[in-house]
Amino acid sequence: MAATIIDGKKVAADIKVELKKEVEELKSKGVNPALSVVLVGENPASKKYVANKEKTCEALGIKSVAYKLPESATREELLKLVDDLNADPGIHGILVQLPLPGHMNEKEVMHRIAPEKDVDGFGPDALGRLLLDEPGFVPCTPHGAMKMLEAYGVDPAGKKAVIVGRSVIVGKPLALLLLRKNATVTICHSKTPDLKGECLSADILCVAVGRAQMVKGDWVKEGAAVIDIGINVNESGKLIGDVEFEKAKERAGWITPVPGGAGPMTIAMLMYNTVEAAKAGLKA
């Protein structure tokens, strides 16, 4: 029996309906939620993401302020811009689009963003709060993955979850979120000896490595929930995931498509974090 397709666009749309109401309520109290997006250079994928974020902000009534710096911008120029945005009371969220040009230190920039404006959830304060199980901004892609599982009634409690990929922006925070929901979590990576065996043991399989169709269809346990977070472009210019979708969907119980799964959810959760930042400012 073919898998239930997890429709990330639909889940994201439902979240955005609620967010739009919250934005209207904040505006009625004199708070205009605002997100500043900083793009350095001409990376085509980054430009597309930024355009999508601006479009979503507009649809929800969130003010979007974009700063585009040339590839040749210096580290000092970028850090000064972040400092200025930190100090601007009209800006609730700051997002510096990654990857940055090679002459810039991404960690230094993430550390520089004020914790109360770190709507990407990549800074040490946000990640520390996640580890400590304290309230704070959750990185958008892992948060979106959890929301998709929740929307389709997949409860991680008592399940074995396997994550392929150990990045700070997806793999590690996703492991903490699954632990929070009482899953038993294994993180796999390039040094894992029996990757296929680990994947086959997973009730919930999350893949985020950026290698096209690396996880084969016969690596998926019958009835498992598969969250594919990879986005790759094949020879014909088509977007494909890290999982061999057509074969995997014959074995999985639930599976996310690429595109239309994790991507829309990432942007929805960024908007969620921006609204939360604006609400926190109201309380302060």
DSSP 207-269: E-S--TT-B-GGGSPTT-EEEE---EE-TTS-EE-SB-HHHHTTT-SEE--SSSSHHHHHHHH
Burial 74-95 (b: 16+ CB within 10 A, else e): eeeebeebbeebeeeeebbbbb
3-class state of residue 33 by DSSP: coil
* CB count in 10 Å sphere of residue 114: 16
Task: Say how far apart CA 52 and CA 46 lie, in whole Å.
Answer: 10
Query: Is 213 an active-site residue?
Result: no
Q: Please enumerate in sequence order all residues whose Cβ is within 8 A of that of 117, keeping only pairs 6 or more positions apart, or say none.
A: 85, 86, 91, 92, 93, 94, 277
Q: Which of 276, 274, 277, 272 is nearest to 16 (CA)?
A: 272
Burial 22-39 (b: 16+ CB within 10 A, else e): bbeebeeeebebbbbbbb
Q: Quote the crossing angle between the two packed helices 8-28 and 262-283, to the nearest 10°.
A: 20
Query: Is 155 an active-site residue?
Result: no
- Classify burial at 210, counting beta carbons within 10 Å of its beta carbon; exposed 0-12, middle 13-18, buried 19 or more: middle
What six digits make up the tokens of 234?
A: 């094949």
Query: Is 120 an active-site residue?
Result: yes
**Catalytic hit among 16, 117, 118, 120:** 120
C-alpha distance across the termini of the chain, in Å: 52
| Active site members | 53, 97, 120
